[in-house]
Amino acid sequence: MSSINLKDAFQNYKEEREFDRPTTMRLIEDVFKALLKKKYGTDENFDITVNAEKGDFVIYRKRMIVEDGVEFNEVTEVPYSEAQLIAPDYEVGEEVIEEVKLDDFGRRAALTAKQTIHGKINEIKKAALIKKYTDRIGDIISAEVYQVWKKEMLLLDEEGNELILPKEYQIPKDFYKKGDIVKASIERVENKNGLAQIIISRTSPAFLAKLIENEVPEIFDGIITIKKIVREPGERAKIAVETFDDRIDPVGACVGIRGSRIHGIVRELKNENLDIVNFTNNTQLFITRSLSPAKISSMEIDRENKHVKIYLKQDQVSLAIGKKGSNINLACELTGFKIDVIREGEQNEDQFDIELDEFNNEIDGWVIEEFKKIGCDTARSVLQLTIDELERRTDLERKTVEEVCKILTEEFEKGE
């Protein structure tokens, strides 16, 4: 059977655990049983012996010896005269065992067998790869960048398996080139066009959860539990944690002495701000913690409609809303409440204010939205901040900020 050269077919896979001896033997047997059935109509009187280590196998056919001249089944029986040609000491009623040569199947069948073996090997590899990574969904993996495209990156793990990191699963500040090592979590496994496709992510909450777990032994041991994580990748994340051990401060344990446990995670996430808060079933307290670092003066909670109004002093509004609204948006996700910000005592009785939307004829709508994102939805709320502060928080060009302030200032001068 050497012309099929099973050694070549298996030498690349015999070290992999999915190609153990029973699997290898079963694979070969299945392929050649199919050939035997096709050629002889049955495989019941055939034995297939496989040596997976040497890459060799032998097929034996067993037939019963019958007397010459009687009607017989060519597949299961052999006349006495033919048996004598195999071995002269055979007698009627005995069983003849002989090797089936590969040439008996024909060249086309032999090539088909070889192709089938390779196909089944690839199927086993694919199934093993899918199972391996499906069982590890959410785990962190390190892989080497092999190729960078516009919409995704191709990476290779330590075994040479291909991983895909789509652009939408990359942190906006990520920049990698061929040969770089990337950390990410396994997001999902897809069967695409007959191939296993492993998708990894650096933006999922699971990635951040695993990074924290690796740095904080109390989480790994189950003493501290991560209740929920919400993220705006590369900008900000909020993590709610709790423990039933009164001796442990869960926030302090996660941060570490002088931030020692959290610094490495922040660097890995391209300086993403991490807000770690104590989880509590006290809704008011949890909302207050979720809006940190802003200090809330008071709040009105509508539990039925999952809506809350928070009242803040003027200097706390921008802190509560955060850059481009990130802080308040994440607080809404973390708590499950829609949060409205209301300034307290921002106007004197003899002062009037104007909503920014009233200036839509003079200021572009998208510019107004940028100011709203930082909590400035009226003219006075804009003018109470410096040009430098407005430029930094809104990411607008300085010239645009100056023009807006000029328009707003002129409107108040007209009123006076």
In a domain, 228, yes or no: yes
Predicted confidence at residue 174, as pLDDT, reads 93
Same domain assignment for residues 159 and 236: no
- Is pLDDT above 90 for 50? no
pLDDT score of 3: 45
Tokens 């950390």 locate to 183
Among residues 18, 12, 100, which one has the least CA distance to residue 55? 12
Boundary residue ending a domain (171, 200, 229): 200
248 occurs within a structural domain: yes
> Of 99, 132, 165, which marks where a domain is finished?
132
For residue 159, pLDDT beyond 70? yes
Q: What is the pLDDT of residues 288-318, one digit of tens each?
A: 999 988 889 888 999 999 999 998 887 788 8
Q: Are residues 90 and 29 in the same domain?
A: yes
pLDDT bucket at 330, cuts 50 / 70 / 90: very high
End position of a domain, from candidates 279, 308, 336:
279
CATH code assigned at 220: 3.30.300.20
- Lowest-pLDDT choice from 97-111, 248-262, 329-343, 347-361: 347-361
**Shared-domain flag, residues 48 and 124:** yes
Looking at the domain assignment, is residue 388 inside a domain?
yes
Tens digits of residue pLDDT in 7-37: 555 555 555 555 566 776 777 778 888 888 8
Segments forming the whole domain that contains residue 44: 2-132
Residues 175 and 266 both lie in one domain: no
Q: Flag whether 297 is in a domain.
A: no
Q: Is residue 169 part of a domain?
A: yes
Residues 102 and 22 in one domain: yes
Residue 329's closest CA among 241, 231, 396? 231
Asked if the structure places residue 347 within a domain, the reply is: no
Same domain? For 25 and 126 the reply is yes
Let me know: does 355 contact 378? Beta carbons within 8 Å. yes
Helices (DSSP H) in 143-258: which residue ranges? Answer: 205-215, 217-220, 250-255
236 and 114 inside one domain: no
pLDDT band at 232 (very low <50, low <70, confident <90, very high): very high
Residues 114 and 172 in one domain: no
pLDDT level of residue 415 (50, 70, 90 thresholds):
low
We report the CATH number of the domain holding residue 177 as 2.40.50
Number of domains in the chain: 4
Tell me what pLDDT residue 414 has.
62
Q: Answer yes or no: do 192 and 231 share one domain.
A: no
**2 band by pLDDT with thresholds 50, 70 and 90:** very low
Average pLDDT over residues 274-298: 92
Both 215 and 195 in one domain: the answer is no
CB 278 within 8 A of CB 250: yes
